[in-house]
Amino acid sequence: MKNYVILKTYCEKIFQVGSGDFWFEEGKFGHDNSWYYKIYTGTLFSLYVFMTILEIMAAIFGVFPEDEKRDSVTFAVSHTIVMLKIFSVLSNKKLIRTMNYNMVKICEAHEDPELMAEKFKIVKKNIWAYVITVYGSAACFIFEGIRKLYEGSHFVTVVTYYPSFEDDSIIATAFRISMTVILMMMLMTMIVTVDSFTMAYLIMFKYKFIALRHYFERLTEEFYELNASGNSRMAADKLTNGLVEGIVMHKQLLRMAKDIDQAFGTVIALQLCQSSGSAVSLLLQIALSDQLTFVASMKIIFFVAALFFLLGLFLCNAGEITYQASLLADAIFYCGWHACPPQPPPRRDPRRLVLLACMQAQRPLIMKAFKMIQLSYGTFLQVLRGTYSVFALFYAQNK
């Protein structure tokens, strides 16, 4: 029941942050089509969009000191991508509801409790590590704003077109504080609805293939035990029926891989662009600025760490899915089919079933972004190398 618990908890939190009802059981947490929930959702997302538009205007038209101008560009690009990721997930709500049901039901009867407990711990650890990184970065932005306030300037975290840099009125201060509160809320929506949800889905999907491989391995052990006891006919029947069930589960997982790509492919692709592009800009700020304080440096380091940590979770887990799926062919081939006597019609022949299952398992399951960028460990390393190469190029030109 671990998949059920994980997804139900996620959908409850998603509902609470105003992103709608993604759970496949109707009315479990409430109704997202009620008028009061629509007002709640509309208000939240209107504030997010309003803040993002002001950030874009500040980056294009605003007149600010160099440090705030850099922050305005960073926030404008990052938060625009965040909003695109959120809306891409919301646009696939019906599909994700179906996926939640399939994620719970596929292989449910054959999932090992110890394996599910291990998966639960991994999901939990990754979520907390990402939350700490994201809010650690946000905390550094807040501390830097407080430091500026004590040095005679004004408090600022999110740089928006209004108020102007010279405006230190009470209204302007209240507006800057309110933008900080909206930022914290948007980060929570981003973490719950998009980033950690996508990450958890990839981890759970990876463990589905592990569970399926263990199913074929247990099927092999049971076959040899029955066959050794002299029940060769019963062993052949059990193996045949087990192979049919395994092939069906594998087909369901392959179909689900396409659904995951449709629901979360845009999120991963946008994260790929955000991590590589924003990281170059942020690293150049550290390398080329001689006036960065310790807190200002830490906010950039936390920001870059959050970007690459999330990208690493996406790409490495997607690559792990490819690897775990590739192990199925061997598990199927060594199931013991060669020890089965030939089965006359209309009985199914396990040899044909193994041939069909191996052909299906040998087709590489490769997760992709934009249907062309392979999501794997290698891609993550290429992004890291490419980001550093671009950073080194710009750094050498500006030095």
DSSP string for residues in 233-245: HHHHHHHHHHHHH
Alpha carbons 81 and 29: distance in angstroms, whole number = 29
Phi, psi angles (nearest 5°) of residue 369: -110, 140
Kind plus residue range of the DSSP H or E element containing 281: helix 232-288
How does pLDDT run across 317-355, given as a tens digit for each residue? Answer: 999 999 999 999 999 999 888 887 666 666 778 888 898
Quick one: pLDDT at residue 284? 73
- Rounded Cα–Cα distance for residues 2 and 204 (Å): 10
What pLDDT does 76 receive?
Answer: 92
Q: In the beta sheet, which residues pair with residue 373?
A: 369
DSSP letter at 108 equals G
Helix count and strand count (H, E) for the chain: 12, 2
pLDDT reported for residue 273: 86
Q: By three-state DSSP, how is residue 292 classified?
A: coil
Instruction: Give the number of other Cβ atoms within 10 Å of residue 111's Cβ.
Output: 21
Closest among 197, 188, 195, 381 to 270, alpha carbons compared:
195
* Mean pLDDT of the residues in the chain: 89
pLDDT at 109 over 70: yes
20: alpha, beta or left? (left if phi > 0; alpha if psi -120 to 50): left
Q: Which range, of 106-120, 255-269, 317-331, 339-353, averages the lowest pLDDT?
A: 339-353
Query: What is d(CA 279, CA 215) in angstroms, rounded to the nearest whole number?
Result: 43
pLDDT tens for each residue of 229-248: 878 888 888 888 999 999 99
pLDDT of residue 1: 56
How far from the centroid of its chain's Cα atoms is residue 115's Cα? 21
State both tokens at 180: 């900080």
Q: Which residues of 35-56 are buried (b: 16+ CB within 10 A; e: fewer)?
A: eebeeebeebbebbeebbbbbb
Q: Which two tokens stand for residue 380?
A: 């993550």
Where do the domains of the chain lie?
2-398
Task: State the Cα–Cα distance between residues 314 and 194, nearest whole angstrom.
Answer: 12
Strand partners, 369: 373
What's the confidence (pLDDT) of residue 398?
Answer: 67
**What is the C-alpha to C-alpha distance for residues 338 and 340, in angstroms, rounded to an integer?**
6
Distance CA 378, CA 372 (A): 14
pLDDT at 344: 66
**Which residue type sits at 336?**
G
Query: What pLDDT score was predicted for residue 118?
Result: 92
pTM of the model: 0.92
DSSP 49-78: HHHHHHHHHHHHH----HHHHHHHHHHHHH
Which amino acid is residue 281, in one-letter code?
A: S
Q: Are 93 and 193 in contact (CB under 8 A)?
A: no
Cis peptide before 346 (omega within 30 of 0): yes
Say whether 291 sits in a helix, a strand or coil.
Answer: coil
Summarize the confidence of residues 188-199 as an average pLDDT.
96
Token pair 């010279």 is found at: 166
Extended beta strands in 301-372, E state: 368-369
